[in-house]
């Protein structure tokens, strides 16, 4: 599925446009139908943008998060989770954790 790039680059502009249109759109668009149609379109675009963002995040966490192959590699032979320090070394001694 091709990515829609322009949806991901709007940042905070889209919610700002939704709020601005909600409060001041009636002044610029002299027809209520046009004003509410534009508001609905902006909300629809925002919902699509949020949907694509959540899918992208869930794919990333599905690959690297809980229950994946990387989770099984971060466990020792007893099934306990390993503690890795800032330098990337496995901490073996329990006293170092306190």
What is the rounded distance in angstroms from the CA atom of residue 14 to the CA atom of residue 27?
Answer: 19
Q: Does residue 43 fall inside a structural domain?
A: yes
Residue 20, in any domain of the structure: yes
**Over 60: is that where the pLDDT of 67 sits?**
no
Q: Is the pLDDT of residue 90 over 50?
A: yes
Question: Could you tell me the residue range of the domain that residue 50 belongs to?
Answer: 5-73
Report the alpha-carbon distance of residue 22 to residue 36 in Å, rounded.
8
Q: Note whether residue 27 is domain-resident.
A: yes
* pTM exceeds 0.85: no
For the stretch 16-38, pLDDT in tens is 999 999 999 989 988 999 999 99
Strands (DSSP E) found in 1-98: 83-84, 90-91
Number of domains making up the chain: 1
Evaluated on CA atoms 21, 25, 28, 33, the torsion sign reads positive
């Amino acid at each position: 599925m091709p990515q829609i790039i322009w949806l991901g680059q709007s940042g905070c502009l889209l919610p700002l446009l939704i709020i601005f249109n909600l409060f001041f759109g009636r002044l610029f668009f002299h027809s209520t139908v046009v004003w509410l149609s534009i508001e609905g379109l902006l909300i629809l675009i925002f919902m699509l943008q949020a949907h694509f963002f959540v899918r992208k995040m869930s794919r990333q966490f599905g690959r690297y998060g809980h229950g994946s192959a990387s989770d099984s590699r971060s466990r020792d032979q007893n099934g306990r989770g390993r503690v890795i320090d800032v330098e990337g070394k496995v901490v073996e001694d329990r006293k170092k954790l306190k």
